[in-house]
């Protein structure tokens, strides 16, 4: 066990799987000599060569189409889409091809494809490079959607994503690349569809995704000073989704807050809230609260950018409100 960054953990998982399986290869813009937009693929070109680390033209649709074809012929490609906003340019290949092929061919064909993509705000990259669009992909049958919040989770989930025989969207929040965590040297995998309780508590459950996991943990630490003990759960994967861990937590705490950076309207938090409303409603002592991004394009200005997505104070206030609500 040693401390490494989120970016290094992802690179380590990719390197391990490329060393173990000649069918695993990378393709994307500036992933070779430059090492990727955020440095995740740094050094892999020198280690594995141009055949397996392929710099591509600027065409997300073309890159993804090539990867789908390669996957169908037995390869296990890892696509690097520089910003998750640009998935919109590759949507036809992802939504109408990769996600559908296994079903359309009765299981005789599979698309073992990983699409890595940085998402989220906080870097001043403005409206076209800062979106959180993961809820779009969760709506498509045939796709798996992963959103790790820590370096430890990123390494284990990346290995599982590469080994999976289905297309996987792997969302990496840009603010997390430099965060540090204890990560084992040896290879390990984290099953897709298994949530993690990042902090135990009994007064309220906060389900947070991506970078919001760290914001929720800061809020929980602050609330503990006031004798309010919050349980923070990170789903880690949105598809498949671990319902039971969250249901058990709500049965214990009787309160639920869902937090994500993506715009609140139509965000994945609504899916979590409705699941609890359907399956654990009678355990709730207060209405479910959802915290999400404002329905605006992400601003470039730092103060406005911060105001556009949930912050620590927003979670603290929401927890206090539901904890003080009269028991239903």
Among the listed residues 8, 12, 29, 60, the single catalytic one is 60
Task: Please write the tens of the pLDDT for every residue from 274-302.
Answer: 999 999 999 999 999 999 999 999 999 99
* Rg of the Cα atoms in the chain: 20
Asked whether residue 102 carries a pLDDT value surpassing 70, the answer given is: yes
Determine what percent of the chain is predicted with pLDDT higher than 90. Answer: 98
Per-residue pLDDT, 1: 84
Instruction: Report the chain's mean pLDDT, rounded to a whole number.
Output: 97
Per-residue pLDDT, 206: 98
Among the listed residues 8, 12, 17, 129, the single catalytic one is 129
Distance CA 319, CA 255 (A): 9
Task: Please write the tens of the pLDDT for every residue from 239-270.
Answer: 999 999 999 999 999 999 999 999 999 999 99
Per-residue pLDDT, 243: 98
Q: Does 196-324 match 2-183 at the fold level? A: yes
Q: Is 60 a catalytic residue?
A: yes
Task: Please write the tens of the pLDDT for every residue from 195-222.
Answer: 999 999 999 999 999 999 999 999 999 9
Rounded to two decimals, the pTM is 0.96
Asked whether residue 325 carries a pLDDT value surpassing 90, the answer given is: no
The CATH fold assigned to 196-324 is: Rossmann fold (3.40.50)
Per-residue pLDDT, 324: 87
Asked whether residue 327 carries a pLDDT value surpassing 70, the answer given is: no
CATH superfamily placement of domain 2-183: Thiamin diphosphate (ThDP)-binding fold, Pyr/PP domains (3.40.50.970)
Delimit the domains of the chain by residue range.
2-183, 196-324
Residue 248 CA: distances (Å) to CA of 109, 197, 221, 242, 244: 37, 11, 22, 11, 6
Task: Please write the tens of the pLDDT for every residue from 167-199.
Answer: 999 999 999 999 999 999 999 999 999 999 999
Orientation angle between helical segments 6-20 and 151-163, nearest 10 degrees: 30
Q: Residue written as tokens 């990123």? A: 154
Distance CA 167, CA 164 (A): 8
């Amino acid at each position: 066990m040693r401390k490494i960054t989120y970016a290094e953990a992802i690179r380590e998982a990719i390197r391990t799987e490329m060393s173990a399986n000649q069918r695993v290869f990378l393709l994307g813009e500036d992933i070779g000599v430059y090492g990727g937009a955020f440095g995740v693929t740094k050094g892999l070109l020198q280690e594995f060569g141009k055949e397996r680390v392929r710099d591509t033209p600027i065409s997300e649709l073309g890159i993804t189409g090539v990867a789908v074809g390669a996957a169908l012929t037995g390869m296990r490609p890892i696509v690097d889409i520089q910003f998750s906003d640009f998935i919109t340019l590759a949507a036809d290949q992802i939504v109408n091809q990769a996600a559908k092929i296994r079903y359309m061919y009765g299981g005789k064909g599979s698309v073992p494809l990983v699409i890595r993509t940085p998402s989220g705000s906080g870097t001043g990259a403005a409206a076209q490079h800062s979106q959180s669009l993961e809820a779009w992909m969760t709506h498509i049958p045939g796709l798996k959607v992963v959103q790790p919040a820590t370096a430890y989770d990123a390494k284990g989930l990346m290995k599982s994503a590469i080994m999976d025989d289905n297309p996987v969207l792997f969302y990496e929040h840009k603010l997390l690349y430099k965060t540090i965590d204890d990560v084992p040297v040896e290879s390990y995998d984290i099953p897709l569809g298994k949530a993690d309780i990042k902090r135990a508590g009994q007064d309220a459950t906060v389900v947070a995704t991506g970078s919001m996991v760290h914001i929720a943990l800061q809020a929980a630490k602050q609330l503990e000073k006031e004798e309010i003990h919050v349980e923070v759960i990170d789903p880690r994967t949105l598809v498949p989704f671990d319902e039971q861990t969250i249901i058990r937590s709500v049965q214990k705490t009787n309160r639920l807050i869902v937090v994500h950076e993506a715009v609140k309207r139509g965000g994945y938090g609504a899916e979590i809230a409705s699941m609890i409303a359907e399956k654990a409603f009678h355990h709730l002592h207060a209405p479910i609260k959802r915290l999400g991004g404002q329905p605006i394009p992400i601003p470039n200005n730092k103060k406005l950018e911060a105001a556009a997505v949930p912050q620590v104070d927003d979670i603290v206030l929401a927890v206090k409100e539901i904890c003080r609500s009269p028991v239903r």
